């Protein structure tokens, strides 16, 4: 199958390389000439485990290439996966200008039947919009279909999520388009992963509803964590007990410093805006977003409890990316926490295994360190923000020996509170009480 993937951002790049791994011939298109040049030289602009190896193998076998020549790709390809950015607009709605531009370009250059697949996260009704744009801009009437095939990729796990997915959702309104999508995904169908065919608008809404539900679970547990702290309960035990109920399950019940990234924040806001446009209330979704904002700030009073006067104090921050296994800093809780600590007069030392170069473009006036121990040197407290595995089993005696004071504020509940106290640390987690 000759497939064009439009966009070489996170979704487009993973989509293109993984579709090539399934045996399709892929051309990835982007307007960014520098990015295309790097990709053709095997340089990947994002950190995603396993992606580089897949890219090298499929480039060697001639199944994937990168170009800025969209017109040529339109003539040679039958299927187009639109994987361009849909950032928040002025009212938190999804900005669809890039999607519109792609649809217009396809319409103006198509000479035969095409299938246009919306892979970007877009609000319900976008496929209909794309269909109208193509009809309005065709030089002559040519048959085409528009499909909704939302992505469910977790940063840090994206390759596995694409090739061994929980499910594939495909919204179609023609048998011809369905047959083509079945051909594309036949390699995944062979390993018995569920492929759900539905109407286009339901497929569009499944993506937003899924992310909003996951965000709701996170915010719910973060709100429960405050009661745990007041009442003397342990939120990890509460979550474990809840998760044993088969109706609830254990996933996304971990309390922490709030969610970030490229998906949950903007998708929750965009869904609320879509509901507003359709005359629906979004009280639960609005509360989810509000709880998440306050949760990012909730670490500050915990720090002040153990370091009351932050002016002139040195605080070490472990983890800057919004989650482990990625260098993505979008909506990362670390940004809010570091900025507030700096406003209160603290000096910041920080370390992240992958996100430091990205962080340097966003976060100024702090010292970036080479490892966790260098970060801890001379610190009056350590704050764990991102739960990278390398923070889990560090030498506590060594940490104490290089710190000004053995104080740990654990924003991800990585450590056992009693064990930290036994090792001489003053410790505060999230929803787990105060140990010292």
Positions annotated as catalytic residues are: 263
Q: Do 173 and 197 meet the contact criterion of CB atoms below 8 Å apart?
A: no
CA distance readout (Å), 198 to 170, 201, 248, 275: 6, 8, 25, 21
Q: Cα separation of 371 and 332, whole Å?
A: 20
408 SS3 class: strand
How many CB atoms lie under 10 A from the CB of residue 50? 15
Residue 106 region by backbone torsions, left for phi larger than 0, else alpha for psi between -120 and 50, else beta: alpha
CA angle 227–231–237, rounded 5-degree value:
75
Cα–Cα separations (whole angstroms), residue 167 to 192, 232, 305, 379 = 10, 40, 45, 46
How many angstroms from the chain centroid is the CA of residue 200? 24
Cα 176 from Cα 333, distance rounded (Å): 45
Alpha carbons 1 and 107: distance in angstroms, whole number: 20
**Contacts of 236 by beta carbon, 8 Å cutoff, 6+ apart:** 254, 255, 413, 431, 432
Q: Decide: helix, strand or coil at residue 169.
A: strand
* Strands in 172-250 per DSSP E: 195-198
Strand duo 314-318 + 195-198: pairing = unpaired
Taking the C-alpha atoms of residue 335 and residue 143, their distance in angstroms, rounded to an integer, is 48
Contact call for residues 408 and 381 (beta carbons, < 8 A): yes
> Could you give the angle at which helices 299-306 and 283-297 cross, rounded to 10 degrees?
20
């Amino acid at each position: 199958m000759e497939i064009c993937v439009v966009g070489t951002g996170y979704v487009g790049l993973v989509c293109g390389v993984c579709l090539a791994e399934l045996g399709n011939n892929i051309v990835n298109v982007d307007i960014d000439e520098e990015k295309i040049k790097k990709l053709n030289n095997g340089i990947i602009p994002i950190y995603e485990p396993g992606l580089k190896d897949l890219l090298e193998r499929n480039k060697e076998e001639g199944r994937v290439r990168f170009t800025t020549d969209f017109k040529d790709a339109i003539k040679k390809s039958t299927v187009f996966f639109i994987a361009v950015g849909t950032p928040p607009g002025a009212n938190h709605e999804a900005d669809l200008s890039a999607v519109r531009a792609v649809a217009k370009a396809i319409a103006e250059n198509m000479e035969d039947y095409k299938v246009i697949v919306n892979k970007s996260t877009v609000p319900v009704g976008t496929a209909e919009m794309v269909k109208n744009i193509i009809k309005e801009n065709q030089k002559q009437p040519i048959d085409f279909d528009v499909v909704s095939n939302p992505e469910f990729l977790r940063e840090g796990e994206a390759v596995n999520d694409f090739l061994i997915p929980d499910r594939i959702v495909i919204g179609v309104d023609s048998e011809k388009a369905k047959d083509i999508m079945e051909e594309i995904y036949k390699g995944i169908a062979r390993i018995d992963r569920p492929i759900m065919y539905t109407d286009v608008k339901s497929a569009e809404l499944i993506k937003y509803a899924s992310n909003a539900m996951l965000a709701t679970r996170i915010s719910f547990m973060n709100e429960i964590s405050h009661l745990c702290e007041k009442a003397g309960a342990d939120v990890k035990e509460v979550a474990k007990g809840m998760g044993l109920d088969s109706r609830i399950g254990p996933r996304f019940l971990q309390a922490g410093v709030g969610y970030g990234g490229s998906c949950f924040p903007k998708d929750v806001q965009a869904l609320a805006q879509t509901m507003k446009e359709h005359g629906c209330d979004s009280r639960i979704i609005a509360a989810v977003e509000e709880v998440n904002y306050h949760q990012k700030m909730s670490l500050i009073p915990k720090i002040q409890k153990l370091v009351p006067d932050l002016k002139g104090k040195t605080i070490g921050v472990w983890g800057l990316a919004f989650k482990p296994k990625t260098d993505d800093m979008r909506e990362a809780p670390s940004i809010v926490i570091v900025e507030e600590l700096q406003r209160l007069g603290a000096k910041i030392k920080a370390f992240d295994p992958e996100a430091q170069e990205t962080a340097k473009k966003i976060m100024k006036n702090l010292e970036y360190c080479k490892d966790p121990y260098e970060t801890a040197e001379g610190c009056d407290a350590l704050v764990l923000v991102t739960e990278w595995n390398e923070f889990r089993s560090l030498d506590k005696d060594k940490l104490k020996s290089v710190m000004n004071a053995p104080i740990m504020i654990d924003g991800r509940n990585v450590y056992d509170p009693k064990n930290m106290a036994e090792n001489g640390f003053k410790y505060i987690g999230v929803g787990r009480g105060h140990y010292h």
